[in-house]
Amino acid sequence: MLKSYVFIFFIAFFSGCVDRPIKSTSKSSPKESLEIRYAKGFEISNFNDYKIITITNPWPGASEKFTYALIEDGTILPASENYDAVIKIPVSEIVVTSTTHIPSLEMLGVDEALVGFPNLNYISSEATRKRINNKEIVELGKNEDINTEVLIDLNPDVVVGFAVDGNNNAFNTIKKTGIPVLYNSDWTETTPLGKAEWIKFFGVLFDREQLADSIFNEIEQQYHETKKIASEALVKPTVLSGAMYKDVWYLPQGKSWAAQFIADANGDYLWKDTNGNGSLSLSLESVLEKGLHAKFWVGTSQFSSLSQLEEAHSVYSEFDAFKNMNAFSFTTKKGATGGVIYYELAPNRPDIVLKDIVKILHPELLPDHELYFFSRLQ
């Protein structure tokens, strides 16, 4: 998903009858930038009086980049027309369009800045749902067809959007009104820690870079510690994933983030050698041939019980993982209005996802961990 921000601002401000000095960025020199170690879709550059976010991979196969200048109140940015947006920070009011953004706002302690969201029912967070119930967050319709009239009346400081190909009429309309739209491509990341590192994107918008860096460092540390524990397992169990939709079995490709979780949990994903980071579309026969005797079935698509699987297709009950009740789903745990918690929080907390999968594949290695996202199908 993609997001693009555009900001228009004034900078004159007075204290009594004395003008406050206005800083010019014309002679600014590069400073040490916030390190981005895993994410491939954005960069952050720091200068004396301003910062720049560059979106390097706004959508798969994109040939263009987007650059956004972030400045503090009282700063003039020469040649502002060279940027896709100029944004005054810290942001006070924000609209985001993906549930994966909600945890970042909450972890940074800026969730009260959220004033609008498309399809509020998708949000699972209890804290944000409380604000929704208190009418503090406005419904903006569907993500693919945002109610621009309501959003324009809301007049947030910035809209964080996403797009699969750069063609979004709603965003174009919003930008014409002077409300900045900033693309965020966290969804294009192919590694667990790459997705999680996008908290730094929000950290710079709210002038909380160091906090974002600290939060990510803790997630990174927990992830690597869990991976090291998993490497001590004496066996590497075989793993099947996915399920059928209209007679086609969809499962993660070998370079996808889902496959990376299984590899880091010291599991033997049976399709690990396939190329690509999306999903494979296979026939039932080919999956049966390769996955019939897989010990574990991790990620059963939309199915949340063994009976649902068997009712959908009797062939599911032929798999060893089904027979031995070693099938696990992340769709059973939902928020109050039906949003799947995994879809919202997992990209932000890969450390918890990895612990879950290690617990599934090697329960003896994490005896005190209780499954958070996944559930064993009954």
What is the DSSP annotation of 110-136? Answer: -GGGEEEES-GGG---HHHHHHHHTT-
Check residue 295 and give its pLDDT: 98
142: burial class by Cβ within 10 Å (0-12, 13-18, 19+)?
exposed
Q: Is the confidence at residue 105, as pLDDT, over 70? A: yes
CATH superfamily of 14-219: Nitrogenase molybdenum iron protein domain (3.40.50.1980)
- The separation between CA 150 and the C-alpha centre of its own chain, rounded to angstroms, equals 25
- The separation between CA 305 and the C-alpha centre of its own chain, rounded to angstroms, equals 27
The closest alpha carbon to 118, from 171, 164, 74, 80, belongs to 171
Range(s) within the chain of domains with CATH label 3.40.50.1980: 14-219, 231-376
What percentage of residues in the chain have a pLDDT greater than 90? 80
Checking DSSP bridges between strand 248-252 and strand 279-282, what pairing results, if any?
antiparallel
Cα distances (angstroms) measured from residue 230 to each of 353, 356, 366: 13, 11, 9
Segment holding 54, helix H or strand E:
strand 50-55
Task: Name the token pair of 260.
Answer: 């990376």
Question: Which one is predicted more confidently, 154 or 4?
Answer: 154
Q: Is the confidence at residue 84, as pLDDT, over 60? A: yes
pLDDT-based confidence at 17, cuts 50/70/90? very low
pLDDT, average across residues 81-87: 91
Alpha-carbon span 211 to 11, nearest angstrom:
27
Fold (CATH) for 231-376:
Rossmann fold (3.40.50)
Check residue 194 and give its pLDDT: 97
Note whether 238 and 293 are within 8 A (CB): yes
Note whether 192 and 39 are within 8 A (CB): no
pLDDT, average across residues 223-248: 96
